[in-house]
Amino acid sequence: MSSTAAEVLRLLRVRGETLAVAESLTGGLVAAEITAVPGASKAFRGSVTAYATELKHQLLGVDATLLAERGAVDPQVAAQMAVGVRKALGADWGIATTGVAGPEPQDGQPVGTVFVAIEGPSEASPYAAGGGKVIPLRLNGDRAEIRMESVRSVLVLLLKELAGEQTGNERAQDTEQNGGF
C-alpha cells in the first residue's frame, strides 16, 4: 500500500500542494502510511485523530447538531472532517475516515460501514461545492481488515483525484524530473 501513499505524495509535490488527514476509525493508520514514505514532510502537514465524537466538533468543526442527530458515522460528518482538517492544518487537501470497524455496530450503523472523504481546492473539483467528495463503503472482514481497507480506499480516492487533475504540462514536468523524455 505504501506505493499508493508514495504516488499521492509524489503528485502533491509535483503540484506544489499539501495534505492533512482527519481520522476516526483508522486511528492514525492513514497518517502512519503516509509518513512511512521517505520525504513525506515535503507535502504532508499533519493529522488529527478525532476518535471521540465530541472531538470531531471541537477540533475539526463538525456541526454538533449533525453529530447529535446522525452520529459520527455519516457521509456529511466525513465531508466536514475533511474540510475541518484542511482548514485547521492549513493544507491544500484534506482527507477523512469515519466508520464502524467493529466488533459492535455504532450509531445504528452495522460493522463495515465506512465513509471516506476528500476536500481540495474548489477549482480541482467543480462538480462539488468546495471541491469535496465522499464515498460510502460497505466493507467485510475483521476489525483490522476493515481499518486497513479504509486506509487504502481514502488514499486511492485521493490518488485518482490528483491523477485526474494533472494537466499535460504537469505531466511533462514530472517526466522530466524523473529522467524521462
Write the CA distances from 79 to 6, 39, 112, integer angstroms.
24, 28, 18
Q: What is the pLDDT of residues 114-135, one digit of tens each?
A: 999 999 996 544 334 356 899 9
Contact 71, 105 (CB under 8 A): no
pLDDT, mean over the chain: 89
| Cβ pair 131, 121 in contact under 8 A | yes
Q: For 37-55, what is each residue's pLDDT tens digit?
A: 999 999 999 999 999 999 9
pLDDT > 60? residue 75: yes
Question: pTM here?
Answer: 0.87
Residue 128 phi, psi dihedral angles, 5° rounding: -130, 140
Residue 77's nearest CA partner among 92, 99, 93 is 99
How far apart (Å, rounded) are the C-alpha atoms in residues 152 and 145? 10
Question: Starting from the edge strand earliest in sequence, which strands make up the sheet with 113-119, in order?
Answer: 44-49, 19-23, 93-99, 113-119, 132-138
